[in-house]
Amino acid sequence: MEAWRLSQMLVTLAERAKADFASTVAPLGLPMHLARALAMLDEPAPMSELAERLECDRSYITSLADQLEERGLAGRVPGTDRRVKLLALTNEGRELRDKIAAAVSAGSMMLTRLDDEQRASLAPLLERLLGDELVVL
């Protein structure tokens, strides 16, 4: 029963965090799926890697890349292996990604509901639960 209760709390927390993220990025004029992609792109990355990080089908990434390019937020660039295309943020994309990060941080329940000590205790627990699936934004 304990595992069930903990799982329910984690699912509820994840759903709430997702809804908070969507409402935070909406005023920036960006749909959540594009905001998530921007948040994942720090350095140019192969589109297949982005698909893994977003946990979506590789074919969907092509559509995301197209939409980000249409908005001038990212572009496809050749990698060291010319057969692999990387998705890289433009200057405008980096600026918007930084605005998203600032907006999410400002309204984050992690900051508003937990103090420094509690956040420091939570981080290693989440890292342990996520293990190799840890994605740093």
Q: What is the DSSP annotation of 39-84? A: HH-SS-EEHHHHHHHHTS-HHHHHHHHHHHHHTTSEEEEE-SSTTS
Strands 85-89 and 74-78: antiparallel
pLDDT bin (cut points 50, 70, 90) of residue 81 is confident
Asked if the model's pLDDT at residue 126 lies above 60, the reply is yes
CA dist 107 → 10, 17, 30, 83 (Å): 19, 11, 17, 41
The sheet carrying 85-89 orders its strands as 45-46, 85-89, 74-78
Q: Give the residue with greater pLDDT, 79 vs 92.
A: 92
pLDDT at residue 100 in the model: 92
Of 26, 52, 17, 92, nearest to 60 by C-alpha is 52
114, 122, 56, 108: CA torsion to nearest 10: 10
Pull the structure tokens for residue 80. Answer: 């060291």
Please state which of the ranges 40-44, 92-96, 109-113, 121-125 shows the lowest mean pLDDT: 109-113
pLDDT bin (cut points 50, 70, 90) of residue 133 is low
pLDDT at residue 93 in the model: 97
How much is the average pLDDT of 98-113? Answer: 86
pLDDT bin (cut points 50, 70, 90) of residue 72 is very high
How much is the average pLDDT of 74-103? Answer: 92
How much is the average pLDDT of 95-100? Answer: 94
pLDDT at residue 123 in the model: 87
Write down the architecture of domain 2-108 according to CATH: Orthogonal Bundle (1.10)
Strands 74-78 and 45-46: unpaired
* β-sheet bridge partners, residue 80: none
In contact, 74 and 93? CB cutoff 8 Å: yes
How much is the average pLDDT of 17-28? Answer: 89
